Amino acid sequence: MPEPIRVLVTGAAGQIAYSLLYSIGNGSVFGKDQPIILVLLDITPMMGVLDGVLMELQDCALPLLKDVIATDKEEVAFKDLDIAVLVGSMPRRDGMERKDLLKANVNIFKTQGAALEKYAKKSVKVIVVGNPANTNCLTASKSAPSIPKENFSCLTRLDHNRAKAQIAIKLGVTSDDVKNVIIWGNHSSTQYPDVNHAKVKLQGKEIGVYEALKDDSWLKGEFITTVQQRGAAVIKARKLSSAMSAAKAICDHIRDIWFGTPEGEFVSMGVISDGNSYGVPDDLLYSFPVTIKNKTWKIVEGLPINDFSREKMDITAKELTEEKTTALEFLSSA
């Protein structure tokens, strides 16, 4: 058996974590032979609930779980980490401006970035889920200067999976038959779900999604808005935000970092934009198509971008630039 890895989940008493922790513990993320020390962090008022989660994890009797540690202390939570999954964030409340939300989260992710810097391994992989995820991820990275920027990524895999599923449903295939959809930009309603380079398997043959669907107006209209606004649609229907699908996407994202992407396939994740060939400004945490090998991601280069895509990619970059400016103001005054 390999040495156990230390995996932190923050916001561990929340509903996304509740859907996520079992999958991490049962081997479906890091493999069936990888023992895990699972560290659960939440704020002090949630410790009672977290004790219940701890009991349930014990009661799952998972052979790969070598230890489960529940804590509200950062020096305990961030020590010697191999993986940090930062799910906890300040949720948007009724009547709250996006700026107020950003400010509250800058404080959280500045503190957590500093804790990663101080206590975690320098090789730690950090996955940010808590919203606004892209800018929270950038804040954490800037607060942990000795951990490589490339070790930080944020979740846009849920949007990626949503886009895949919409195409699959429309064509009457399974989502496994659809590959290489792209989410560009921010995990917000300005994100751009792009299927110009996506392929679908029909009758054993791979063809382009545009060619397969022959419905450009749906692909350029309703498809995009459905994916952009899916989170809000789930909240409206369920009165709770998407947790099961978010947890599944987190597992997909981490598993791909750990084991790599299949040959000929790329996935979407928010990564640092430095040196990209798509005209996205440097120093943004922007969702790109990536391939992953040896736990290292690489932006897929050289995809042709049409005018329709260019405009959508620029809109979401502009929003991220504005968020970053606001976040940096708060960071320097904090």
The answer to whether 187 and 173 have CB atoms below 8 angstroms apart is no
Distances (CA, A) of 295 to 39, 42, 150, 160, 257: 22, 28, 10, 20, 5
Is 98 annotated to bind ligand?
Answer: yes
Is 255 annotated to bind ligand?
Answer: no
DSSP-derived secondary structure for 188-203: STT-EEE-TT-EEEET
Active site residue 160: no
The answer to whether 108 and 11 have CB atoms below 8 angstroms apart is no
Is 267 annotated to bind ligand?
Answer: no
Is 105 annotated to bind ligand?
Answer: yes
DSSP-derived secondary structure for 273-298: -TT-SS-PPSS-EEEEEEEEETTEEE
DSSP-derived secondary structure for 209-227: HHHHH--HHHHHTHHHHHH
Q: How long is the chain? A: 334
Is 92 annotated to bind ligand?
Answer: yes
Burial pattern 231-253, b for ≥16 Cβ within 10 A else e, equals beebeeeeeebbbebbbbbbbbb
Catalytic residue among 160, 187, 197, 253: 187
φ, ψ of residue 58 in degrees (nearest 5): -60, -45
Is 130 annotated to bind ligand?
Answer: yes
Is 162 annotated to bind ligand?
Answer: yes
* Angle between helices 133-142 and 307-333 in degrees, nearest 10: 50
- Dihedral over Cα of 229, 234, 235, 240: its sign: negative
- Report the candidate in 184, 197, 145 with the shortest Cα–Cα distance to residue 273: 184
- Report the candidate in 209, 211, 174, 213 with the shortest Cα–Cα distance to residue 195: 209
CA separation for the pair 134, 102 (Å, rounded): 11
Is 161 annotated to bind ligand?
Answer: no
Active site residues: 187
Binding residues for NAD(+): 42, 105, 129-131
Binding residues: 42, 92, 98, 105, 129-131, 162
Binding residues for substrate: 92, 98, 131, 162
